[in-house]
């Protein structure tokens, strides 16, 4: 049985978000970086989703702290 497109897209978005955050951590190992490269090369949709996540990451970094505060 295949997953509905929405669930697949959500999972891919979560993977991209994970890599976006993990690669910025000081303790991200060379093995993890290689796993990221494997994931990125594994499917064209991975590179596309990762690029989208980087855009979100960059835009979020431009928000003022007052926008982020509850």
* Per-residue model confidence (pLDDT) at position 63: 65
**pLDDT tens, position by position, 58-70:** 877 776 666 555 6
Long-range contacts of residues 49-54, Cβ cutoff 8 Å, at least 24 apart? 49/12, 49/13, 49/15, 49/16, 50/16, 50/19, 50/20, 52/16, 53/13, 53/16, 53/17, 53/19, 53/20, 54/20
**pLDDT tens, position by position, 11-60:** 999 999 999 999 999 999 999 999 999 999 999 999 999 999 999 888 77
* Per-residue model confidence (pLDDT) at position 66: 62
* Per-residue model confidence (pLDDT) at position 2: 44
Predicted TM-score of the model (pTM): 0.74
């Amino acid at each position: 049985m295949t997953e509905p497109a929405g669930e697949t897209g959500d999972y891919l978005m979560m993977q991209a978000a994970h890599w976006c955050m993990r690669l910025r951590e000081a303790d991200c190992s060379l093995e993890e970086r290689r796993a990221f490269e494997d994931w990125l090369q594994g499917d064209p949709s991975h590179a596309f989703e990762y690029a989208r996540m980087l855009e979100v990451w960059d835009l979020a970094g431009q928000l003022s702290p007052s926008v982020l505060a509850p």
